Each structure stands twice: as structure tokens, then as C-alpha cells.
């Protein structure tokens, strides 16, 4: 099977007091005077945006109308144990007005669709929560 590249995100990061991250398309231009917690925040923003798209895709496949107020809050923890750094994450999903069982079904399906969820599966502890 040959994969078709749908999009390539390109960023350039610089270090130091005037550190920054900029995307080649100009949509991202952010100051990063220190690498942490910026890295965790950026990862959380990217993952939650992707996860929201996965929820939308899952809903369209199941012919479920989503509430306009769909939101995903990502919490990315940087941890240290025995001298090694590692991440843990929580994706807190709000689907107001949607039946709880249906919402849980969409959250589960999205976790199987989202490329960020696939990339982290088995590598970091991840909780998905309906809030």
C-alpha cells in the first residue's frame, strides 16, 4: 500500500531568550523563550485539534449531528522518574447536549482515527474523558 501525503507541516524553531517557532505557511508564529512548558502546550494544542477533527469524522460516519460547542481540552504532563522524562496525557471532551452513551462512542472512535492518538498509543498513558 502506498500512502498519499495529504499535508506536511513545516516549522522552524530557534532557541534562547528570543526563541520562537514559526510555520512555513505563517499560521504559527509564537515566542518560545524557554522550551518547557511550551512544548507540552503546543503538543496539546495540536493533538486536541486533530482529535476534534477525528470526532467530527466519526460523527459523520455514524450520521450523528454534533453540537456546535464541541471542545477538547488537552492536558499534557511532563514527568520525571528514575532520571528519565516521559509524557502522560488527558483529553477532556465536551459534547454538550449529546446523549452520554453516544458521546462516549464518538470519543472511543476518535481515539482510533486521530493520527496523534495512534502515534502515542502504547508509548504514553492517555485518558480520554467526557466532561
How many CB atoms neighbour CB 66 within 10 A? Answer: 17
Residue-level pLDDT at 17: 84
- pLDDT score of 68: 94
Distance from CA of residue 104 to its chain's centroid? 17
Q: How does residue 27 score in pLDDT terms, banded at 50, 70 and 90?
A: very high
Q: Are 10 and 24 in contact (CB under 8 A)?
A: yes
Mean pLDDT within 7-21: 90
pLDDT band at 36; cut points 50, 70, 90: low
Provide the mean pLDDT of the chain: 94
pLDDT at residue 18, as a whole number: 86
Global pTM reads 0.89
Domains of the chain: 35-130 (3.30.300.20)
For the purposes of burial, counting CB atoms within 10 Å of the CB of 57, is it exposed (0-12), middle (13-18) or buried (19 or more)? middle
Judged against a pLDDT cut of 90, whether residue 32 lies above it is answered with no
| 67, 96 contact by CB (below 8 A) | yes
Give the mean model confidence (pLDDT) for residues 83-111: 97
What is the Cα–Cα distance from 35 to 14, expressed in whole angstroms?
10
pLDDT for 15 equals 86
Amino acid at each position: 500500500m502506498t500512502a498519499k501525503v495529504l499535508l506536511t507541516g513545516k516549522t522552524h524553531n530557534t532557541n534562547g531568550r528570543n526563541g520562537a517557532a514559526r510555520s512555513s505557511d505563517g499560521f504559527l508564529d509564537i515566542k518560545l523563550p524557554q522550551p518547557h512548558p511550551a512544548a507540552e502546550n503546543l503538543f496539546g494544542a495540536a493533538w486536541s485539534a486533530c482529535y476534534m477533527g477525528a470526532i467530527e469524522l466519526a460523527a459523520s460516519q455514524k450520521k450523528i449531528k454534533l453540537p456546535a460547542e464541541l471542545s477538547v481540552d488537552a492536558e499534557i504532563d511532563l514527568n520525571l522518574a528514575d532520571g528519565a522524562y516521559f509524557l502522560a496525557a488527558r483529553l477532556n471532551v465536551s459534547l454538550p447536549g449529546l446523549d452520554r452513551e453516544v458521546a462516549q462512542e464518538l470519543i472511543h472512535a476518535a481515539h482510533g482515527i486521530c493520527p496523534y492518538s495512534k502515534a502515542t498509543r502504547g508509548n504514553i498513558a492517555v485518558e480520554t474523558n467526557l466532561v
